[in-house]
């Protein structure tokens, strides 16, 4: 890790003490942790493997006023080529437990949505089939109310447990964060938005309330949705999923196609030939390539159709 203003040996030891020494990496390339396969190094990359370790890591970062970025599966991120300053806390394999109690499925924030859907299907519980192919973690899916094929997280969520960062105290210090449970109707879930994002909460776990179903029908539906994705989306190339939110009254992919941008490339970034709503990493693309291509698409669609395209992909870190 290069020297910077944020870290010293004591802070690094503190993070290693709460997250585990093997779970703290320095100058970790973020291209290894995003589905775009793009991104410069994180100063410090922490992968807690228990909820207790995660909460202690978050408390340490907030008390020490360290810049903090939370990532899940990295499926909706464009990380800048200069990387991310401060601490990146990744909710991954160590935080992926899934438990089932009757019709309730509880999953830790790092569990993949596809794994939760598969566990539900094995228990003959229906409701998650449309969102089973979303390549994100439970935490990220709750954060943005992820959805597909007319369904979204709001349809199946019952409640979430979140970490609420402690407020700054009068003396300028911070205490420990609070763990709070919110019912789904308290989350203000809308199209790609939530109270979780608005208030800066960090998801620890989510509980889904599903419905008993027929195992064969559940499997058939999941197979159907998977086939539709494979037929229409460029799953064989690195991407961050749908690049733009759906503009009211339109489909982003069709606007981009009608603007004549199918296959248009900037450097190694390209509008997918298969689905124009996706930008793919066709040939060692940089974040700068993707960023420029996004701006070009926005300008072209605005000029031709007077429609504003808002990126669904989140920009994180420092860009050149």
Q: Annotated catalytic residue: which of 51, 192, 194, 205? A: 192
| 3 state SS for 81-127 | CCEEEEEEEECCHHHCCEEEECCEEEEECCCEHHHHHHHHHHCCEEC
173-179-181 Cα angle (round to 5) = 145
Catalytic residue flag (residue 129):
no
Q: Annotated catalytic residue: which of 96, 194, 239, 242? A: 242
Catalytic residue flag (residue 132):
no
Spatial distance between the Cα atoms of 153 and 135, rounded to a whole number of angstroms = 14
Radius of gyration (C-alpha) of the chain in whole angstroms: 20
> By C-alpha distance, which of 190, 188, 182, 237 is closest to 206?
182
Q: Work out whether strand 84-90 and strand 68-71 pair parallel, antiparallel, or are unpaired.
A: parallel
User: How remote is the C-alpha of 299 from its chain's centroid?
Assistant: 26
Spatial distance between the Cα atoms of 277 and 301, rounded to a whole number of angstroms = 12
**Sheet with strand 84-90: strands edge to edge:** 24-29, 41-46, 84-90, 68-71
Bridge partners of 160, per DSSP, are: 182, 206
Catalytic residue flag (residue 186):
no
Count CB-CB contacts under 10 A for residue 89: 23
Q: Annotated catalytic residue: which of 176, 229, 246, 312? A: 312
For residue 202, give the 3-state DSSP assignment: strand
Q: What positions carry a catalytic annotation? A: 192, 242, 312
């Amino acid at each position: 890790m290069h020297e910077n203003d944020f870290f010293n040996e004591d802070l690094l030891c503190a993070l290693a003490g709460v997250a585990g020494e093997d779970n703290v990496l320095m100058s970790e390339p973020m291209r290894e942790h995003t589905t775009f396969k793009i991104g410069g190094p994180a100063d410090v990359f922490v992968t807690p493997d228990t909820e207790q370790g995660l909460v202690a890591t978050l408390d340490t970062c907030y008390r020490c006023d360290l810049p903090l970025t939370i990532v899940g599966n990295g499926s909706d991120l464009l990380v800048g080529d200069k990387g991310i300053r401060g601490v990146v806390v990744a909710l991954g394999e160590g935080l992926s437990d899934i438990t089932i109690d009757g019709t309730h499925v509880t999953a830790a924030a790092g569990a993949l949505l596809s794994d939760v859907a598969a566990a539900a299907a094995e228990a003959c519980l229906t409701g998650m089939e449309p969102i089973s192919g979303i390549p994100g973690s439970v935490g990220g899916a709750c954060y943005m109310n992820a959805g597909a094929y007319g369904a979204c997280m709001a349809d199946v969520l019952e409640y979430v447990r979140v970490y609420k960062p402690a407020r700054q105290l009068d003396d300028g210090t911070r205490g420990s964060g609070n763990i709070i449970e919110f019912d789904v109707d308290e989350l203000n879930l809308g199209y790609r938005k939530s109270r979780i994002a608005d208030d800066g909460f960090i998801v620890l776990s989510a509980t889904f309330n599903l419905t008993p179903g027929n195992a064969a029908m559940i499997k058939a539906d999941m197979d159907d949705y998977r086939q539709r994705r494979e037929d229409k989306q460029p799953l064989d190339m690195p991407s961050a999923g749908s690049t733009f939110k759906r503009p009211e009254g339109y489909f982003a992919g069709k606007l981009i196609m009608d603007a004549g941008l199918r296959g248009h490339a900037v450097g190694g970034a390209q509008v997918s030939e298969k689905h124009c709503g996706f930008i793919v990493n066709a040939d060692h693309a940089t974040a700068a390539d993707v960023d420029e291509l996004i701006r070009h698409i926005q300008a072209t669609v605005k000029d031709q159709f007077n429609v504003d395209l808002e990126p669904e992909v989140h920009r994180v870190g420092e860009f050149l």
